[in-house]
């Protein structure tokens, strides 16, 4: 007896050999169509509200850094991982050349709504205490002021600042942060713990 698969695909599992007895309901073969695949992407909780089905996604497999694949957000899962504080997003991609394989690690860039003009600072300028986020403003003459901020989108080494810093403010980055007096450093960072003296 000859049986034909109902669709084209790649044989992933073969649990049968010629002459073997098969029981009702037993899976004999597993055939997968890999011309269309999913990528499961973990998005930081702070960015998850900006992700919607239909948004375009650029996927880059870590084993193929010279090539990008285009996809679309098909589903934003409705829960947050309490350990990683991330939301899971499912991205659908066309894979006609079968270049993407199951269990590959990928990096994703999701094209969220850009909105209007925003204030951004370098990633390295934001100090995260776990309870709040701050930047150090450069007031000149060796003086610095910690300022609590509310951050938004991240990308290309920049962080959107929604509250706390205005356009034109000078912020300290890790590359140029140098305070020559230890007392000044302690004063500038008091805001991390809420310490007052």
**Nearest residue to 146 (alpha-carbon basis) of 192, 90, 196, 85:** 192
Residue 171 is given by DSSP the state B
The residue that leads in pLDDT, 112 or 72, is: 72
Question: Quick one: what percent of the chain has pLDDT higher than 90?
Answer: 27
Domains and CATH numbers, the chain: 36-110 (2.40.30.170), 119-192 (2.40.420.20)
Residue 175 binned pLDDT confidence (cut-offs 50, 70, 90): very low
pLDDT of residue 56: 92
Cβ neighbour number for residue 147 with a 10 Å cutoff = 17
**Nearest residue to 39 (alpha-carbon basis) of 99, 111, 88, 97:** 88
Cβ neighbour number for residue 43 with a 10 Å cutoff = 21
Q: List pLDDT tens digits, range 137-163.
A: 888 887 888 889 988 777 778 888 888
Please report how many Cα atoms fall inside a 13 Å half-sphere around the Cα of residue 34, on the Cβ side: 12
- Does 181 score more than 50 pLDDT? no
Across the beta sheet with 158-163, the strand order is: 119-122, 158-163, 143-155, 133-140, 127-128
């Amino acid at each position: 007896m000859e049986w034909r698969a109902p669709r084209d695909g790649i044989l992933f599992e073969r649990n049968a050999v010629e002459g073997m007895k098969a029981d009702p309901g037993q899976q004999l073969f597993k055939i997968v169509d890999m011309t269309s695949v999913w990528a499961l992407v973990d998005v930081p909780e702070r960015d998850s509200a900006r992700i919607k089905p239909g948004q375009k996604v650029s996927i880059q497999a870590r084993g193929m850094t010279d090539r990008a694949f285009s996809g679309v957000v098909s589903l934003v899962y409705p829960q947050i991982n309490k350990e990683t504080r991330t939301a899971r997003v499912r991205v659908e991609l066309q894979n006609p050349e079968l270049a993407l394989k199951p269990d590959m690690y990928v990096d994703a860039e999701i094209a969220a709504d850009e909105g209007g003009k925003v204030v951004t600072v370098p990633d390295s300028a934001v100090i995260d205490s776990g309870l709040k986020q701050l930047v150090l403003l450069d007031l000149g003459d060796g003086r610095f002021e910690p300022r609590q901020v509310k951050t938004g989108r991240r990308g290309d080494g920049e962080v959107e600042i929604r509250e706390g810093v205005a356009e034109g403010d000078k912020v300290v980055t890790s590359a140029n942060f140098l305070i020559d007096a230890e007392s000044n450093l302690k004063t500038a960072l008091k805001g991390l713990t809420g310490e007052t003296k």
